[in-house]
Structure 1
Amino acid sequence: MKLQTALRLIYPPRCVSCGDLVESDFGLCGPCWRETPFIEGLACDTCGVPLPGHSDQIEHCDDCMRIARPWSRGRAVLTYKDNGRKLVLALKHSDRLDIIRPAGVWLARAARPILQDQMLIAPIPLHWSRLLKRRFNQSALLAQELGRLTALSVCPDLLVRPKRTESLEGKGHDARFTTLDRAINAHPKRKHRMAGRHVLLIDDVMTSGATMAAAAEACLSAGAHDVSALSLARVAKDA
């Protein structure tokens, strides 16, 4: 207890967004919390994008009604804009691994409506060359933290990305899906883990859903019973 008190005096808790002092570790200060676009209220049951209005029924966005998604249900924590975008980019490109802990709590809260017993959590994989350059897969770290909080099994290498695809930035919807076609496979030594099970895929950002679709199709082809999707941030058309 004395050691913890001393550490708090030397390293007081700070907001993971702006760095201001806060009451507890790994949290947001009041202003940053208010400026972070958490997805609350009505959202698409398939991809998690926020929807206008209120409804007591399951609703879907226009894209998910138009596009056949290979996963069944999905949720997202943040809209990818403003402080939401800042947090994701800090995690992804600035080695801000301290964001993993609060993000895990947010993911667990957002995923509550779609969580099921015996779900197997798996991250969207990176190609080995990108993993070597970045040194970590942020989606895998998010998946591990979610597994710790929910006591669900996690398989960080359930899926592999044998082909290095070009960047999706700036590409349109059709180009994204073409680029990701067959770009993700089930790990040949992990197929048995998903046979007959419901897999929950984790990614940091969902834009068009092309990456999530490729991963979901790989799971279903390998024998998964069902697939759901969970992302830390969701790109919305008005974002």
Structure 2
Amino acid sequence: MRLNVIAPVIDFVFPPRCPLCGVPVAEHGGMCLDCWGKLAVPSGVCCSLCQRPLGEGRDAAAKLICAPCMTDPPRHAGIAAATLYNETSRALVLALKHGRRVGLAPMMARMITARLPVLDGPWLVVPVPLHRWRILKRGFNQSALLAKAIARSTDQRLVVDGLVRRKATPSLGGLNRKARARMLSGAIVPHPARSGTLRGANVLLVDDVMTSGATTNACIVALRKAGAASVRIACFARVLDEALDSLREQAAIGG
């Protein structure tokens, strides 16, 4: 209630602006229509597990599974990505993570929540962990900020320290899938004090960006080791080039 009272004062002193281009917007935590339109939102018929596009002419209501997931079934129960990774979503992620614009987290979390299926029953919301030295340097874990906002909006329990990154790893950029998995082997483990909490639980694993899936796979292994019943992934941006290509083709046809 108090925030509602002082909101006009805050808006007067700090006028709300689009976090990407700086033009005025209606309220804090929003984006202008131009920048919003540049986000790539997953659409069309997709694999029910990995969000890989399956093309047009299929039953959108059916729970379809792509060939790669049938050949090598994923360890997770599904992926919910707010956006596909492009220049616009990258700019938001970098502004949050390296620009320390933590005020973006609630907006980004709302976008993730909008893509989530109904979470039946109790779930634990667990962020992908950062190594303690990385947190000390950055001052926060961006995935934890997203997880906190998602837990609040879905009325689920946040377990911010469910996983621990006990080994600092260098950037995984440029490494292939096997090299990434080898680098992360043993790096992420369940928090010893949370083993009872994780056992038998449904877990929503939250990350800012999902690239090859190596980090989330390491988290899933750790959660399964702790006895989690199922793990669903929620992220702001998903690197999936074929999905971006599909969106471009649809836009070209529509244009």
1:137 equivalent in alignment to 2:112: no
User: Could you tell me how far apart the structure 2 residues matched to 1:136 and 1:186 are?
Assistant: 20
| Pairing partner for 2:199 from 195, 202, 205 | 195
Q: Deviations over 1:78-111 (max 9, x none)?
A: 1111201111111111111121011111111111
| Pairing partner for 1:11 from 11, 14, 31 | 14
Deviation at 1:45, TM superposition (A): 2.2
Tell whether the 8 Å contact from 1:124 to 1:201 is kept in structure 2 after alignment. yes
* Distance change >3 Å, CA 86–CA 61, structure 1 → 2: farther
Tell whether the 8 Å contact from 1:196 to 1:223 is kept in structure 2 after alignment. yes
| Pairing partner for 1:94 from 99, 104, 115 | 99
Report how many aligned residue pairs link the two structures. Answer: 238
User: Could you tell me how far apart the structure 1 residues matched to 2:21 and 2:151 are?
Assistant: 27
Tell whether the 8 Å contact from 1:45 to 1:75 is kept in structure 2 after alignment. no
Tell whether the 8 Å contact from 1:48 to 1:234 is kept in structure 2 after alignment. no
1:117 equivalent in alignment to 2:121: yes
1:231 equivalent in alignment to 2:235: yes
Q: Deviations over 1:132-174 (max 9, x none)?
A: 1111100000000001111100000000011112210111122
* Distance change >3 Å, CA 180–CA 62, structure 1 → 2: farther
Which structure has the bigger radius of gyration? Answer: 2
Q: CA RMSD in A?
A: 1.8
Higher helix share: 2
| Pairing partner for 1:182 from 173, 182, 186 | 186
1:30 corresponds to which residue? 33
User: Could you tell me how far apart the structure 2 residues matched to 1:21 and 1:80 are?
Assistant: 25
Amino acid across the alignment from 1:115: L
| Pairing partner for 2:167 from 159, 163, 182 | 163
| Partner secondary structure for residue 233 of structure 1 | strand
| Partner secondary structure for residue 89 of structure 1 | helix
User: Could you tell me how far apart the structure 1 residues matched to 2:52 and 2:96 are?
Assistant: 21
Q: Which residues of structure 2 form unaligned runs of 5+?
A: 245-255
| Partner secondary structure for residue 64 of structure 2 | coil
* Distance change >3 Å, CA 46–CA 182, structure 1 → 2: farther
Q: Name whichever of 79-88 and 42-51 sits farther off.
A: 42-51
Identity %: 38
Runs of 4+ deviating beyond 6 Å: none
User: Could you tell me how far apart the structure 2 residues matched to 1:43 and 1:98 are?
Assistant: 31
* Distance change >3 Å, CA 183–CA 6, structure 1 → 2: closer
User: Could you tell me how far apart the structure 2 residues matched to 1:92 and 1:49 are?
Assistant: 26
Taking structure 1 as the reference length, what is the TM-score of the superposition? 0.92
* Distance change >3 Å, CA 126–CA 66, structure 1 → 2: farther
User: Could you tell me how far apart the structure 1 residues matched to 2:118 and 2:67 are?
Assistant: 21
2:84 corresponds to which residue? 79
Deviation at 1:48, TM superposition (A): 3.3
User: Could you tell me how far apart the structure 1 residues matched to 2:145 and 2:212 are?
Assistant: 22
User: Could you tell me how far apart the structure 2 residues matched to 1:207 and 1:2 are?
Assistant: 42
Q: Name whichever of 177-186 and 50-59 sits farther off.
A: 50-59
1:222 corresponds to which residue? 226
